[in-house]
Structure 1
């Protein structure tokens, strides 16, 4: 587990009747790239079901940067914690590209879950998986080097979003280098150095707006702390 959390989305687990009922209590909204969906600390309580596109869940760092906590895709729900407990937002959510969302007022979302046990169970599973992922990320920040965390992140991105092209797996998610750094809790400079090491080993390929993994197995070894000719 890592940035993605759950393997199956909330919407994907709903039956046709539940999906139709959910669509009926929300309002579709179009978000442009790099727009803010929810802001950390706000007292708003609406939830947003992502119908297409990708979002980052992030929190600011003491140095003025960002730490990306999670990535969310179509079919997942963001803003659900505040919708359920009414407390201030625990993190911000921003779009990576154009996103269509179904905005649901918190009270309606709670009533929907209360009236549909299967949907409520799916939400519980989603929250549990996200908690497990958060625990893993905290351990990684405390015990793994930048190179290890980057290797693990690239494997995860390739496994979850990759497209096999010739002899490499192209990561399809539009993450800039500073966003990749934010996803491993490091600086852009440290991640650039780690990427250079991986390029020199022939494990990754980079270009303008592109990132491809040439060999996943050595990256898995690196993430596990087993060196493959690189130095941290």
Structure 2
């Protein structure tokens, strides 16, 4: 029987924190495909993801006139999203779209800032996660110089870190994430993703199935992505 990896389940807010916020925050459920935030909009609320999966992305104009989606991040349960807006007062930098049905806690910006001031441990963890996200955005720019294998390996690791997988007999099972999504996350063509996935499958790094794939050898994927050298980047 598949169970969620306990290593990956690391919610930012405890049940007690959420209860303390509920008088002024609101729990809302949304179906798959809902746009929870829009790029360039002016708003200061923060979203705490209680269940489900969302992605932050932006559509960009290409030289040939076509638009292409770039996925900047994946966010699983226990994640706080949109926290820069109340801190900076600047418009949203990306769309936030649900990839699965989600349950979220909408937290007004002023309530969120007061909460941080009264909870230094959470404040520190928010700062750490923001720093990690900034580093990952920098890596998105670097990846145009990397091989297709390394770019896809890094994309797979982002999926692992999002906490959306469940442990199966062969490894970490990822459902509901298409090769198009992988291509947008790795900034590769779908054809390139398909070719590299076949290579990874031949090396037993991954296994594929109907509407899902399994990461069988996370250590090999991590080594390929050179994650051990990440502190030097």
- TM class, shorter-length: 0.7 to 0.9
* 2:50 is aligned with 1:51: yes
Question: Counterpart of 2:22?
Answer: 23
SS in 1 for 2:40: coil
Matches within 5 A, 1:71-220: 71-139=74-142, 141-158=143-160, 160-166=163-169, 168-220=170-222
Structure 1 residue ranges without an equivalent (≥5): 1-5, 226-232
97-106 or 122-131: bigger deviation: 122-131
In the alignment, the residues of structure 1 paired with residue 106 and residue 201 of structure 2 have an alpha-carbon distance, to the nearest angstrom, of 42
Q: What's the offset of the Cα at 1:217?
A: 4.2
SS in 1 for 2:97: strand
In the alignment, the residues of structure 1 paired with residue 59 and residue 179 of structure 2 have an alpha-carbon distance, to the nearest angstrom, of 17
Q: What's the offset of the Cα at 1:164?
A: 4.2
In the alignment, the residues of structure 2 paired with residue 120 and residue 133 of structure 1 have an alpha-carbon distance, to the nearest angstrom, of 20
Question: Counterpart of 1:42?
Answer: 41
Q: Structure 1 residues 147, 54: CA separation in 2 closer, same or farther (over 3 Å shift)?
A: same
Q: For residues 21-58 of structure 1, what are the alpha-carbon distances to aligned partners after superposition, in whole Å with 9 as ceiling and x for unaligned?
A: 22222011111101111010001221111111111011
Contact 1:54-1:73 at 8 Å conserved across structures: yes
SS in 2 for 1:10: coil
TM-score, normalised to structure 1, is: 0.80
Q: Structure 1 residues 143, 155: CA separation in 2 closer, same or farther (over 3 Å shift)?
A: same
Structure 2 residue ranges without an equivalent (≥5): 1-7, 228-233
After TM superposition, the runs of 4+ consecutive aligned structure 1 residues lying more than 6 A away are none
Q: Report how many aligned residue pairs link the two structures.
A: 215
In the alignment, the residues of structure 2 paired with residue 163 and residue 155 of structure 1 have an alpha-carbon distance, to the nearest angstrom, of 14
SS in 2 for 1:24: coil
In the alignment, the residues of structure 2 paired with residue 155 and residue 110 of structure 1 have an alpha-carbon distance, to the nearest angstrom, of 31
In the alignment, the residues of structure 2 paired with residue 34 and residue 118 of structure 1 have an alpha-carbon distance, to the nearest angstrom, of 33
Q: What's the offset of the Cα at 1:100?
A: 0.6
In the alignment, the residues of structure 1 paired with residue 74 and residue 12 of structure 2 have an alpha-carbon distance, to the nearest angstrom, of 14
144-153 or 118-127: bigger deviation: 118-127
Q: What's the offset of the Cα at 1:103?
A: 0.8
Question: Counterpart of 1:65?
Answer: 68
Q: Structure 1 residues 161, 117: CA separation in 2 closer, same or farther (over 3 Å shift)?
A: closer
